Amino acid sequence: MTDKNSEQLQLIVGSIRDFARENILPNVNEWDESQFFPMQLFNALGELGVMGVLVPEKYGGAGLGYHEYVAIIKEISKVDPSIGLSYAAHNSLCTNHILTFGTEEQKEKYLPKLASGQWIGAWGLTEPNTGSDAMRMKCTAEKDGDYFVLNGTKNWITHGKSGQVAVVIARTGELLDSKGMSAFIVERGTKGFSAGKKEDKLGMRASETAEMIFDNCRIHKSQLLGEEGQGFQQAMKILDGGRISIAALSLGVAIGAYEAALSYSKERKQFGQPISNFQAISFKLVDMATKIEASQLLTDQAAELKNNNKKVTKESAMAKYYASEACVRIAEDAVQIFGGNGYTKEFPVEKFYRDAKLCTIGEGTSEIQKIVISRHIL
């Protein structure tokens, strides 16, 4: 694991920046307009060696730490946040869940495919009627000899349609029992596992979000992750790391919007001078830059704790809460600086504005982050 200012990190950032400029930037508007999920792009990121950034080399991963992971998400998201979102969900949710709680056999079977980008992963916790209230989930896994039979629906699932493998949390015990849920690895093609509708979204439109439906889907007990009844606790631990991902995603959105606004403010002239000369505009840019700096420091702190296997629940919630709320304000200010142009699809800030909002909702809303933080400070 490397220092956040190391030479290795700068090399990774440079190669991701070049990759994004060449392979993502020319397609941003087209993918957004058509809600196209570019599966081949993730295969290419796999060839670049970053689809298993946290996965040890023995399973085909890059064996890197959270500072590198944050930097990669940030670089991708500065160009297209929806690609950053899919990249984060694949790495921190599905892949990381198998890495953290899988048996040696499960790791050897799935991690090389996920880390190479040959497969993309999905992670299913949310249901139509249970978002933050996960303990009321209705998706069940009933024991039948050496098998579990899954029934129910998961929604708002990143890669719910295209993911070749999903980690699914289902109820194996009583309602409202935190030890009444278990996690399973389910492969696409398993009988009774299908994709439902794909969501038509405000932003993050090139990141696929779809339902996963289980209809008498039989899974062998060897697909259970960890022990029966540990699913909820596992999910909460995975979300601790996932919140660092969303903080990094928020940073990417914020920096992308800020850099576009900064550059535009120097070029756009009104009353015979660049608009950046006006205090109203320069003060907006000051607020944006300060919020980005604060978001970065909170995210780096959480990444450092995670790298050292220290408790990170409060710090990752703070980073996610602050950075996500900040990126919405920054994207909004960027649109304002662009004026009428900011409201058109010809300029990039309109898309950053739409994409930003998801950061305050995904992987625990801002309100849930406040609950998590308040429990720690009280």
Return the residue matching tokens 């409060």. 314
CA separation for the pair 37, 27 (Å, rounded):
11
Report whether 149 contacts 218 (CB < 8 A): yes
Are the C-beta atoms of residues 110 and 165 closer than 8 Å to each other?
yes
Tokens representing 181? Answer: 């849920």
Residue positions counted in the chain: 378
Residue 1 has pLDDT above 50, yes or no: no
Mean per-residue pLDDT, 211-236: 98
> Tokens representing 10?
């700068």
Per-residue pLDDT band at 233 (split at 50, 70, 90) = very high
Rounded to whole angstroms, how far apart are CA atoms 221 and 145? 9
Instruction: Answer whether residue 293 shows pLDDT above 80.
Output: yes
The two tokens of residue 360 are 């305050």
User: What DSSP line would sit under 263-308, residue for residue?
Assistant: HHHHH-EETTEEGGGSHHHHHHHHHHHHHHHHHHHHHHHHHHHHHT
Model confidence over 155-176: pLDDT tens digits? 999 999 999 999 999 999 999 8
**pLDDT tens digits, 311-338:** 999 999 999 999 999 999 999 999 999 9
Q: What are the tens digits of pLDDT across the range 106-138?
A: 999 999 999 999 999 999 999 999 988 888 999
In the structure encoding, which two tokens stand for residue 117, read together? 């980008």
Q: Name beta bridge partners: 170.
A: 182
Q: Catalytic: which of 68, 350, 363, 367? A: 363
State mean pLDDT over 350-368.
97
**Can you give the pLDDT at residue 3?**
64
pTM above 0.95, yes or no: yes
What is the pLDDT, as a whole number, of residue 181?
97
Angle between helices 349-356 and 313-338 (to 10 degrees): 150
Q: What is the pLDDT of residue 170?
A: 98
Q: Which amino acid is at 226?
A: G
CA distance 301 to 307: 10
Q: Of 246 and 135, which is predicted with more confidence?
A: 246
Taking only Cα atoms into account, the Rg of the chain, rounded to an integer number of angstroms, comes to 21
Q: Within 10 A of 348 (CB to CB), how many other CB atoms are there?
A: 22
The pLDDT tens digits for 44-83 are 999 999 999 999 999 999 999 999 999 999 999 999 999 9
CA distances (Å), origin 252, targets 70, 78, 236, 299, 317: 9, 4, 24, 12, 18
Mean pLDDT score of the chain = 97
What percent of the chain has a predicted confidence (pLDDT) above 70? 99
What is the token pair recorded at 317? 């919630």
CA distance 218 to 162: 20
Active site residue 363: yes
Which pLDDT does position 6 carry in this prediction?
A: 85
